[in-house]
C-alpha cells in the first residue's frame, strides 16, 4: 500500500502540491494581508506626531548626519545614495521625497531643503524636476528646529533595516510641524489629507493651549484663523464648516484663485491658484470650453510663468466682461476647488483621526516628553561633571601628595586605585585626575576649574526644579515657540474671504438666453424651436400615428421635467437641447436621457425653479388620481433623475402640472365615458408614492386616458363642453365615438 501511495504522488505531483498549499482565506488575510496593511499604515502612508512619514524622516536625518545644516550644498545624487543606508526603497522614490521638501518645488510654507536647480512645481504635473546628478541641496536653517535635542536623548533610536546603524524613531520638532507642513497619504483602508497652517498662528494656538488646556474650539478658531498654503489663493470662509474640521479633523472648504484684470492688455492674469489644483488641468478645461462655445469671451489661454512667479493669462475679446469670464471659470475649472481634510495621524504607532485642538494636545504631550528627556540628559552630564570637579577640588588641598602617589606607583593600572585610596575618591574622579596633563597640575588651573562647581550646582538645582514642575516645563516650551515665531514667522499667504451668496457662480452663465418654443410628442420626441422657426412652421414632422402632447413658449433659462410611466422624473436644462426645425423630428428623449428600454415619457413641463406651493397631478390606468405638492421634490442639489417620484401601483397615464390656480382636467375611458373636473377636487397627498383616490369609475376591464381641457380644447372640442362637472368618484358621461386620440 505504501509503495502504491508513493507512486500516486509521483504520478500527480501538481495535485499533491496544490493540496499542500491550500490555505483558508481567513488565514491568508491574517498572516499575509494584515501585516502588509499595517506596514503600509505605520511605515509608509501616515505621518507621526512629528509631522513626518518615515521616508521624510530618514532623508532629513541623513542630511543632518552629513553636516548639511552648515556649509555648501552637495549633489542630490550624493544625498540620495547616503539615504539608501536607511531607506531601501530605491533612489527614484527617495529623490521624489526630497523634491517635495525643497524650496524650489514650492509645496511647503517652510521648506526643509535649500535647493539649487530645477525641482519642478507643486502646481504642475508636467513641469518635471531635473535628475539628481544635476541638482544640489542642503538643509535649510529652519531645520535646526527639527533636531533640537536629538543628540541629547530627546527621542528613541531604532536599528535601520540591516541593523548596521541607528536612526531616530521620531524627530524632536520644537514646533507643531504636523500642522505646519501639508501631508497627503493613502494607506490600506485609510488615508490622510492634512492642510498646512500658518506657523505664527499655530505657535500662538499651541501657547494658548499650554496656558489653558481647556481652550475651546471657538477660541482656537480666533487664534488659528484658517489653513494657509504656500500657493496663496483665497479660502471662501464658512466658520461653521471650519469649526467642524477643527473639532473632528474631517470636512472640506472651498478655495478660489486670485486674479487681476489688466485693462491695458485686455486680459486676466491669474496669479495664485488653490493648493489642490493643477495648471495643466485648468488650461485643458478652459480650452475645451472655448472650443464648444461656453467661453466665447476668451480668445486664448496661456501659461505665462516666469522668474517672477506663477501667472496664467486669459486673453479676452473686445467688450468681454472679466467678471462674467471669471464666474464661468470658477464654476467649471479648478480655479475654484475644494480641499478635503482627513486628519489621520499616528500617535505612538496607533492611527487616530483628530481635530486641530486634539492634535496640538498630542503634540504638547510629545514635546514635553522630549524636553524632559533632554533635561534629564543635561542633568546627568552636569552631575557627572560636578562630581569630577569635586574630586579635583579634593586634591587641591595637597597637590604634592597626588604627584607623589603617581610618581611612586610602579604599575600603570595601579595609578587610579592608589589615587582613589589616597584621597578617598571614586574611581571616575581618580580617572579624571589621572588624565590631567602634567602642565595643568598647578594651583591656578585647578582653582579656575573648581570655580565651575557653584554655577553647575545652581544649574542642577534649576533643572531638578523644572523637572518636578509641569508649569516650568510648559514655560520652557512656550519660550521656544515664541522664539520660533519671532525668527521664522511669516504673514499669511492665503487670503480669507467671507462666504457670501454673491460669491457663488450662477448656473445660467454658460449659455445665451433667448425665447423659444418647446414641443413634445406622444412617441417621446422633443424639440426646441426658435421664435422665427415656430412662427413660420405650418406643421411638425411626426411619425405616423404620433401627435403633440405638450407645446409651450418659453426661454432658454429653465429646466424641463420629463415624467415617465416608470414613476420617474428626468430633469434637463432647456439649454442642453440644440435649436431644431419643425421639419425635424427632434431628440428622442428616452435615448438622450438614458431611460430604460421599456420606459416611455407620458408628459413634460418646463419650470424655472421648484415652487413648493405648486402641484403635480397624476392619473393612473385604474381611474385613480393624486395631487402631490412640488415641495416633495425639493433637494439641496439639482438632481438629474428622481426615482420613485410617484406611484406605479397602476400604470401612470397622465402627469399634469398645476400652478397657482386650479385647472380643468378632462379624463375619459376607453368605454367613451368622460369627466371634466376642477383639479382642486383631487385630494392632496404629501407622500409622493401615494396611489391616490378613485376619480373615474371603470368597468372591470376598463382603462383611462387623460388630458387638460383648457390646453387641448382644439382636440377635445365640443365633446368636452358636453361633459357635466361631476363630483368624484363618478361613472362619467357618455361622450360618443370621438375620432381622435388624446
Residues designated as active site: 134
Cell (9 digits) for 206: 499651541
Peptide bond into 729 cis (omega under 30): yes
Helix (H, G, I), strand (E, B) or coil at 334: coil
Helix H or strand E encompassing 553 = strand 548-555
- Judging by beta carbons within 10 Å of its beta carbon (0-12, 13-18, 19+), is residue 556 exposed, middle or buried? middle
Buried b (16+ CB within 10 A) or exposed e, 10-24: eeeeeeeeeeeeeee
CA separation, residue 32 to residues 25, 44, 51, 185, 686 (Å): 10, 17, 29, 22, 55
Cell (9 digits) for 350: 496607533
C-alpha 226/C-alpha 205 separation (Å) is 12
Cell (9 digits) for 567: 414613476
Which spans in 234-336 are helix H?
239-248, 279-291, 322-332
Cell (9 digits) for 648: 406605479
- CA nearest 212: which of 50, 375, 364, 371? 364
C-alpha 377/C-alpha 385 separation (Å) is 12
Cell (9 digits) for 32: 499575509
C-alpha 357/C-alpha 711 separation (Å) is 64
DSSP 488-514: H----SSEEEE--GGGSPPGGGGS---
Helix (H, G, I), strand (E, B) or coil at 474: helix
Helix H or strand E encompassing 388 = helix 356-395
Which spans in 171-320 are helix H?
177-180, 199-211, 217-223, 239-248, 279-291
How wide is the angle at C-alpha 411 spanned by C-alphas 407 and 417, nearest 5°?
80
Contacts of 451 (CB under 8 A, 6+ apart): none
Amino acid at each position: 500500500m505504501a509503495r502504491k501511495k508513493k507512486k500516486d504522488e509521483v504520478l500527480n505531483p501538481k495535485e499533491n502540491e496544490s493540496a499542500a498549499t491550500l490555505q483558508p482565506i481567513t488565514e491568508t488575510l491574517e498572516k499575509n494581508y494584515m501585516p502588509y496593511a499595517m506596514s503600509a499604515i505605520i511605515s509608509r502612508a501616515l505621518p507621526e506626531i512629528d509631522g513626518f512619514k518615515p521616508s521624510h524622516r530618514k532623508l532629513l536625518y541623513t542630511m543632518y548626519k552629513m553636516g548639511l545644516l552648515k556649509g555648501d550644498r552637495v549633489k542630490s545624487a550624493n544625498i540620495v545614495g547616503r539615504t539608501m543606508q536607511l531607506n531601501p526603497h530605491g533612489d527614484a522614490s527617495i529623490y521624489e521625497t526630497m523634491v517635495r521638501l525643497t524650496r524650489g518645488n514650492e509645496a511647503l510654507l517652510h521648506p526643509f531643503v535649500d535647493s539649487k536647480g530645477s525641482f519642478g512645481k507643486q502646481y504642475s504635473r508636467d513641469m518635471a524636476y531635473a535628475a539628481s546628478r544635476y541638482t544640489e541641496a542642503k538643509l535649510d536653517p529652519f531645520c535646526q528646529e527639527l533636531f533640537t535635542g536629538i543628540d541629547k536623548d530627546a527621542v528613541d533610536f531604532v536599528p535601520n533595516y540591516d541593523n548596521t546603524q541607528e536612526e531616530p524613531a521620531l524627530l524632536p520638532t520644537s514646533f507643531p510641524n504636523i500642522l505646519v507642513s501639508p501631508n497627503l497619504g493613502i494607506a490600506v483602508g485609510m488615508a490622510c489629507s492634512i492642510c498646512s497652517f500658518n506657523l505664527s498662528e499655530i505657535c500662538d494656538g499651541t501657547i494658548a493651549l499650554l496656558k489653558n488646556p481647556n481652550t475651546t474650539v471657538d477660541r482656537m478658531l480666533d487664534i488659528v484663523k484658517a489653513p494657509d498654503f504656500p500657493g496663496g489663493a483665497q479660502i471662501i470662509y464658512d466658520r461653521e464648516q471650519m469649526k467642524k474640521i477643527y473639532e473632528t479633523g474631517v470636512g472640506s472648504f472651498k478655495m478660489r484663485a486670485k486674479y487681476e484684470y489688466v485693462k491695458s492688455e485686455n486680459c486676466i492674469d491669474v496669479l495664485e491658484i488653490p493648493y489642490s489644483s493643477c495648471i495643466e488641468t485648468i488650461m485643458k478645461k478652459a480650452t475645451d470650453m472655448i472650443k464648444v462655445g461656453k467661453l466665447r469671451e476668451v480668445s486664448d489661454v496661456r501659461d505665462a510663468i516666469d522668474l517672477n512667479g506663477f501667472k496664467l493669462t486669459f486673453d479676452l475679446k473686445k467688450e468681454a466682461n472679466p467678471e462674467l469670464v471669471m464666474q464661468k471659470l470658477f464654476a467649471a475649472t479648478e480655479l475654484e476647488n475644494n480641499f478635503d481634510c482627513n486628519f489621520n495621524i499616528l500617535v505612538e504607532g496607533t492611527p487616530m483621526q483628530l481635530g486641530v485642538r486634539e492634535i496640538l494636545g498630542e503634540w504638547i504631550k510629545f514635546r514635553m516628553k522630549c524636553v524632559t528627556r533632554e533635561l534629564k540628559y543635561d542633568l546627568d552630564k552636569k552631575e557627572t561633571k560636578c562630581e569630577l570637579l569635586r574630586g579635583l577640588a579634593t586634591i587641591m588641598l595637597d597637590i604634592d601628595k597626588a604627584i607623589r602617589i603617581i610618581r611612586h606607583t610602579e604599575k600603570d593600572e595601579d595609578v587610579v586605585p592608589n589615587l582613589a585610596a589616597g584621597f578617598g575618591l571614586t574611581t571616575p574622579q581618580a580617572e579624571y585626575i589621572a588624565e590631567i596633563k602634567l602642565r595643568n597640575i598647578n594651583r591656578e588651573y585647578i582653582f579656575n576649574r573648581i570655580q565651575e562647581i557653584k554655577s553647575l550646582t545652581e544649574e542642577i538645582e534649576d533643572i531638578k526644579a523644572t523637572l518636578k514642575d509641569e508649569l516650568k516645563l510648559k514655560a520652557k516650551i512656550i519660550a521656544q515657540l515664541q522664539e520660533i515665531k519671532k525668527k521664522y514667522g511669516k504673514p499669511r499667504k492665503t487670503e480669507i474671504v467671507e462666504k457670501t451668496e454673491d460669491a457663488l457662480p450662477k448656473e445660467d452663465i454658460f449659455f445665451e438666453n433667448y425665447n423659444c418654443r418647446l414641443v413634445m410628442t406622444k412617441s417621446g420626441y422633443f424639440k426646441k424651436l426658435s421664435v422665427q422657426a415656430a412662427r413660420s412652421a405650418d406643421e411638425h414632422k411626426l411619425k405616423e400615428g404620433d401627435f403633440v402632447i405638450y407645446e409651450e413658449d418659453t426661454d432658454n433659462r429653465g429646466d424641463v421635467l420629463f415624467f415617465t410611466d416608470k414613476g420617474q422624473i428626468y430633469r434637463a436644462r432647456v439649454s442642453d437641447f440644440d435649436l431644431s426645425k419643425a421639419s425635424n423630428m427632434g431628440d428622442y428623449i428616452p435615448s438622450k436621457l438614458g431611460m430604460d428600454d421599456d420606459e416611455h415619457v407620458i408628459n413634460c413641463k418646463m419650470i424655472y425653479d421648484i415652487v413648493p406651493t405648486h402641484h403635480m397631478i397624476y392619473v393612473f390606468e385604474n381611474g385613480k388620481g393624486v395631487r402631490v405638492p412640488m415641495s416633495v421634490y425639493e433637494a439641496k442639489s439639482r438632481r438629474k433623475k428622481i426615482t420613485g417620484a410617484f406611484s406605479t401601483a397602476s400604470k401612470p397615464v397622465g402627469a399634469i402640472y398645476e400652478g397657482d390656480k386650479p385647472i380643468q382636467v378632462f379624463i375619459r375611458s376607453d368605454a367613451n365615458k368622460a369627466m371634466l373636473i376642477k383639479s382642486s377636487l383631487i385630494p392632496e397627498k404629501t407622500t409622493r408614492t401615494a396611489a391616490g383616490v378613485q376619480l373615474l369609475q371603470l368597468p372591470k376591464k376598463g382603462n383611462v386616458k387623460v388630458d387638460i381641457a383648457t390646453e387641448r380644447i382644439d382636440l377635445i372640442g365640443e365633446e368636452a363642453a358636453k361633459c357635466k362637472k361631476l363630483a368624484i368618484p363618478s361613472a362619467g358621461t357618455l361622450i360618443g365615438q370621438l375620432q381622435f386620440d388624446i
